[in-house]
Amino acid sequence: MRIGLSFSELESRTDQALDRFEEEFGVSMYDTWYLSFWDASDVSDSDNSSQVLDGLREDCSWTQTADNEIVFGWADDLDHNGIAYLNGFYAVGSENPTHPFDWPEKSVAQHEISHNFNAPDHGYFGPYCIMTYLYAYIGVDKWCSDCWDTVYGNIWIVEIALKQTLIFYLMKWWLSYE
Ligand SMILES: [Zn+2]
Ligand SMILES: [Zn+2]
């Protein structure tokens, strides 16, 4: 099993994803990390991405109090690279998935946060876009024009009401660290 990332590595890879939203959509992104508030293991199957996502929402709803706030949870090993609520406020990523294709962390964050802004999955093969699994896997950080329009529209619906900032609460939970 791969050794987990240091916190500073994970933070910089997450920031790479947040930077893409700032560059493309003209939005300010603020991120706050909480390293010991979330326990991802309190679900019946702690590798199950869907259960862990529901668990994040249940455990961390205290942070999510406005439409410009998104909560992203990093866990160690899950059965997918990540999962998110479509057009929602919560997403999780796996640093070290048991899934056979381990995407770069920046791709996981960019892809899952895009789901929160209602961009759909394109499947394994599709347009040159972060929402196509193949391109996420090889680290492409572009959106196709359809996804770009979707994310842009969703961000700015929120932002017009909320002072042009998006706030990210980033939760970190390492299941298997000693
Ligand atoms: Zn997806
Ligand atoms: Zn797309």
pLDDT digits 0-9 by tens, 63-105 = 888 888 899 999 888 999 999 999 999 999 998 898 889 999 9
Per-residue model confidence (pLDDT) at position 174? 56
112 Cα: distance to centroid of ligand 2 (angstroms): 13
Please write down the HEC assignment for all residues of the chain.
CCCCCCHHHHHHHHHHHHHHHHHHHCCEEEEEEECCCCCCCCCCCCCCHHHHHHHHHHHHHHHCCCCCEEEEEEECCCCCCEEECCCCCEEEEECCCCCCCCCCHHHHHHHHHHHHCCCCCCECCCCCCCCEHHHHHCCCCCCCHHHHHHHHHHHHHHHHHCCCEEEEEEEEECCCCC
17 Cα: distance to centroid of ligand 1 (angstroms): 15
158 Cα: distance to centroid of ligand 1 (angstroms): 22
pLDDT digits 0-9 by tens, 120-160 = 999 999 999 999 999 999 999 999 999 999 999 988 876 65
